Amino acid sequence: MFIITYRNILFVLTGLLVVASLAAFGMFGLNIGTDFTGGALVEVRYDGEKPTSEALHSSLSEAGLESVSVRGAGDDSYIIRAASLSPEARTALPGAIANGTIEKLTDIGPTVGAELRTKALLAMALVITCIVLYVAFVFRKVSQPVSSWWYGLITIVTLLHDVIVPIGAFALFGWLWGAQVDVLFVTAILTILGFSVHDTIVVFDRVRENLSLNQDNNRKEDFALVAGRSIEQTFVRSVNTSVTVLISLLALFFLGPVATQDFALTLIIGIVVGAYSSIAIAIPLLVTVAKRQGK
């Protein structure tokens, strides 16, 4: 009942977090990668000693490459992403990679990048729409004291929260150390959506079960009590699930290749805020809606 009792404080904290994320996005924007803007993709292999990614990044920037992103690929290779290469930068590229060998050089046209960006946005919109319809359908028999459509709408509110926070974080990371938003970032966001809605539906389903038990036993109970008991019954499960996933993601972030670090970081942020939103936002919002409808 602690979460239900102090839900207004949680709403304020959530609002501050969302505002901070939107402010970071508005101030810094996203550092869009070449997957969406077009540019050059270079794979470089080293037979001898491989330079650090920081040293290679500095050398490429000095050679005139713009929007450079360097990621490790195995023990002897790097994947380099950059804006479209000018003739001068293309000529200077072999010297910038020192003793490395260019295994592959691919130009990504802006048309392909725009198509990927459109498909990514379409995929996210389609996922959110399907989730609303699914949740409303699953909870169609739960109409008191909150209509089933409210379950779907509140799910979308939590999903928006779970998407806005990682986007705001990556706007800040892009400003601090040049983190880029690419296809892997979109994949992570879609994964977060699925994980978040799963966690939220588990708690909602326990609310539905408790309401059904009250109805079967002809027992009248305040909805806030039902909601609080539902959170208590699912709290340990939600936390354990999130912690288990976080252990794997932290191992991937610290021990995995550089190429997947941003992907793992996005998922870490999303899993944390997703677990928070399913417990501290979704159910308290249901209680708030029920009390206002009751009035």
Token pair, residue 204, equals: 């909602």
In the numeric block, which tokens belong to residue 238?
């939600």
Cα 258 from Cα 267, distance rounded (Å): 15
Mean pLDDT of 200-227: 84
Contact criterion met (CB below 8 Å) for 242 and 277: no
H-run or E-run covering 65: none
Inter-axis angle of helices 148-177 and 183-216, to 10 degrees? 150
* 8 A C-beta contact, residue 76 and residue 51: no
* pLDDT surpassing 80 at residue 36: no
Q: Which residue has the higher pLDDT, 139 or 23?
A: 23
In this predicted structure, the answer to whether residue 37 has a pLDDT above a threshold of 80 is no
Whether this model's pTM surpasses 0.85: no
Instruction: Report the chain's mean pLDDT, rounded to a whole number.
Output: 84
Q: Over the stretch 115-163, which tens digit does the pLDDT of each residue have?
A: 777 777 787 788 778 877 777 777 776 656 777 778 888 888 898 899 9
Cα separation, 218 vs 275, in Å, equals 33
| Residue 130 burial class via C-beta count within 10 angstroms: exposed 0-12, middle 13-18, buried 19 and up | exposed
* pLDDT at res. 222: 85
Q: What is the pLDDT of residues 250-284, one digit of tens each?
A: 999 998 777 788 899 999 999 999 999 988 999 99
The pair of structure tokens assigned to 11 is 């709403």
